[in-house]
Amino acid sequence: MDEIEAFSNYLTKSVNRRLLTVLSRVLELPDDYLWDNVQSHGSPTGEGYFRHALFRPVQKQTQEASKGLRMHGHTDFGLTTLLFSVPISCLQIWGRDEQWYYVPYKPGALVINIGDTLEIVSGGHFKATRHRVFRPPADQLHEERLSLVLFNSSIGDLRMAPAHDSKLIQREGCVEEQGVYKEFKKLTSQGKLVPTNRQWREIQIATCTDPTDTVNNRVGAHQVLIDGKVMHQREYMGVKVVLPVIFDFQLLVFILSLLDS
Ligand SMILES: O=C(O)CCC(=O)C(=O)O
Ligand SMILES: [Fe+2]
């Protein structure tokens, strides 16, 4: 336990703090701005957590119900997420060309996701990383996968808002046309309160949808068609969150091959 605590402390107070320094500098804020004003403190991970999970290969029935999906496309709620690069490829990110890509394995590397809070604090200059967990390529389907993730959380009572002290935001304004920032902006411009970091975090964790739920994971339930693309749509506290599913032809071929065998 002591070792885990020391490791969490190191990841949060050394690695993440330096990361927040770099991100503060990009926003032309004092070096410790994000660490002092947004990062949650009080324990090794503040209100965030360090998660260690070992995933076993999934059974055929689960594989078919989930269509290979292990976690829906989403953005993390907080400031930054630190994921340890692992040799079993499951983590995917959404590319600018609107395709999902496996994050390549780099021994000893950390994968850093930008979370919703950081997107909003940065006035949309940083985009929250859209990612999902998907079945690995065929040659890794029977392997166990270790997932080590540090979620850096932001101060629970804080309402999410752009850092108006940022010289970058003062000079260039906010980037309003995308992501969760756009939805938050809509609420504030209607004079409504946006959720606090704690509310945003808790509702997302509590209502996380199950990829094997064949009742809700279909168009007309949790999914909608936008410009011919299948999107996963949820609403949390008046904030609409729409994330891509897309139809995967490789997957169709894979399922048909399972039915054949
Ligand atoms: O297990 C992983 O690689 C990522 C998990 C994840 O994205 C999450 O828990 O938010
Ligand atoms: Fe995530």
- The DSSP bridge pattern shows strands 131-134 and 91-94 to be antiparallel
Residue nearest to atom 3 of ligand 1 (CA): 91
Residues sharing a CB contact under 8 Å with residue 204, sequence separation 6 or more, in sequence order: 74, 77, 236
Ligand 1 atom closest to Cα of residue 81: 10
Residue nearest to atom 1 of ligand 1 (CA): 147
Flag the least confident range among 149-153, 248-252, 256-260. Answer: 248-252
Ligand 1 atom closest to Cα of residue 113: 7
Whole-number Å distance, alpha carbon 90 to ligand 1 midpoint, is 9
Check if 91 has its Cβ closer than 6 Å to any atom of ligand 1.
yes
What pLDDT band is residue 214 in, cutting at 50, 70 and 90?
confident
Whole-number Å distance, alpha carbon 257 to ligand 2 midpoint, is 30
Check if 34 has its Cβ closer than 6 Å to any atom of ligand 1.
no
pLDDT score of 252 more than 60: no
What is the average per-residue pLDDT within 182-186?
89
Are 8 and 44 spatial neighbours (Cβ–Cβ below 8 Å)? yes
According to DSSP, the residues that pair with 239 across neighbouring strands are: 236
Are 54 and 149 spatial neighbours (Cβ–Cβ below 8 Å)? no
Ligand 1 atom closest to Cα of residue 53: 1
CA angle 174, 175, 176 (to 5 degrees): 100
Are 152 and 107 spatial neighbours (Cβ–Cβ below 8 Å)? no
What pLDDT band is residue 261 in, cutting at 50, 70 and 90?
low
Check if 116 has its Cβ closer than 6 Å to any atom of ligand 1.
no
- Farthest-apart Cα atoms in the chain, separation: 61
- The DSSP bridge pattern shows strands 229-236 and 223-226 to be antiparallel
Fold assignment, 1-173+248-257: Jelly Rolls (2.60.120)
- The DSSP bridge pattern shows strands 239-244 and 229-236 to be antiparallel
Q: What are phi and psi of 113, to 5 degrees?
A: -100, 140
Ligand 1 atom closest to Cα of residue 151: 10
| pLDDT for position 238 | 84
CA distance 258 to 261: 5
| pLDDT for position 253 | 53
Q: Where are the domains of the chain?
A: 1-173+248-257
What pLDDT band is residue 259 in, cutting at 50, 70 and 90?
low
pLDDT digits (tens, 9 = 90+) for 48-107: 999 999 999 999 999 999 989 999 999 999 999 999 999 999 999 999 898 999 999 999
Quote the mean pLDDT of the chain: 90
| pLDDT for position 131 | 96
DSSP string over 218-255:
SBTTTEEEETTEEEEEEEETTEEEEEE----HHHHHHH
